[in-house]
Amino acid sequence: MTDTGIKFDITPFPNYGREMVGEMDYDELQASTQALLARMKPADPDCDPISVPIYNSAVYRITSLKQFTEIFSKGKFIYQRCRNPTTASAEVVVNEMEGGKGALVFASGLTAMFSVLYCFLKTGDHIIVQFPIYCEVLLFVRETLSKFGVEHTFVQSGSSIDDIEKLIKSNTRMIIVESPCNVDLSIADFTEIGKLKKLHPNILTVVDSTFGTPCLQQPIKLGFDFSVQSCTKYMGGHNDIIAGSVTCGDLEHWKSLKNYATGTGVPLHPYDSYLLIRGLKTLSLRMERISDSAQMIAEFLEKHPKVKSVVYPGLKSHPQHEIAKKQMKRFGGMMYFDVEHAHIVNALCEKVKVIVYAPSLGGCESFMIPGATMVFPIPIVTAEEQKRANMHEGLVRLNVGIEDPKDLIRDLAQALDQV
């Protein structure tokens, strides 16, 4: 085979926003400001659009093999699956907000998580996985990874760092957590896991940080190797894209994941990348409003006579409230409340008028669903797993949007009055 001299050792595009601010210290700017400045450098300095254009071209014209080799070796643009200017711009913004060494955006949040697992695990490895965890991830670990000879051990959410360390074996390769957890809203202690990582440098640490977003928490800065986001949710923010991202704390990890993503054809489409960039511009504002509203609503529900209990990281009653205070700027928009009986849950979700009955989260609208039957449902999980996750039929999951919190409280009050 002829040696073309092509080397696939590419790096993330630099953030032109750092150059734009000149002598100002970019890192001292607030996240809301960084999200508006972060971008790729324009090809033409006299044409620097405020909104990143959508580059829909699947392929780019070249004039010679020499040019092709040079383009490929420098990681520039030749084929959309390999790299695209709009998609790369979204990655620049995500990386700056997360504080990483490089980010990649994917066709969904699950694709992002599964790409990390496929890329960095091999037969014979052992992983420690928080339980509960998003049900599709649970299935993937339990069924797909097991089929390829990857062992797993589940550790109950809320376990101490000592309990996690006791599960480490000679072949342990990865620790996977969610925080706040999709299922039970438990909080993983990022600082303690970061310390554990230093004691066991060969173990990779992965967190699904979707409910926190980079505006509320930055696990990479506390020692995690990978921060995974379902950008379908808060980061997109408008219920109009399916997307995911992975931010890496190590450049070599980014390179490996980039090669995997290119080879498997899983990067985010340019159009959805454009919508993601749009969503990131207002993420900080939305998370402030959502978090403040959720705190008010959680406190209202906690006092309501028909509500048995409320699970929200911002409440003092939350088991990991102090940990959440330590590592989160605010507490997000997700909560559960317990009305004890299943028939009340169903009726309540059908009685709300402003809040939407829909099985997602993170957009501008508030959503509410029966918790156990739609978040951690049988038969996707077993009855024993549902019980272990404390998911029972009296739980309601409420995700707060950007509506006026007084209107949301009025809506919940009128619905509770009727059941």
- Residue 8's pLDDT is what? 59
Where in the chain do CATH 3.40.640.10 domains reside?
Answer: 16-281
Q: Where are the domain boundaries for CATH 3.90.1150.10 in the chain?
A: 283-418
Q: For residue range 94-130, what is the model confidence (pLDDT) as tens digits? A: 999 999 999 999 999 999 999 999 999 999 999 999 9
Q: What is the mean pLDDT of the chain?
A: 94
DSSP-assigned letters across all residues of 287-333: HHHHHHHHHHHHHHHHH-TT--EEE-TTSTTSTTHHHHHHH-SS--S
pLDDT digits (tens, 9 = 90+) for 176-206: 999 999 999 999 999 999 999 999 999 999 9
Q: Which CATH architecture has domain 283-418?
A: Alpha-Beta Complex (3.90)
pLDDT of residue 2: 38
What confidence tens digit (pLDDT) does each residue in 19-37 have? Answer: 999 989 998 988 889 889 9
Mean pLDDT for 231-250 is 98
Give me the mean pLDDT over the 358-376 stretch: 94
Going by their DSSP bridges, the two strands 102-106 and 244-248 should be labelled as: antiparallel
Cα–Cα distance measured from residue 158 to residue 342, given in angstroms and rounded to the nearest whole number: 26
- CA dist 62 and 69 (Å) reads 10
How far apart are alpha carbons 44 and 53 in whole angstroms? Answer: 13
The whole-angstrom separation of Cα 288 and Cα 277 is 18
Q: Are 311 and 336 in contact (CB under 8 A)?
A: yes
Class of the CATH-defined domain 16-281: alpha beta
CB atoms within 10 A of CB 194: 17
Rounded Cα gap, residues 27 and 97, in angstroms: 10
- Output the six-digit token pair for 193: 């896991």
pTM above 0.85, yes or no: yes
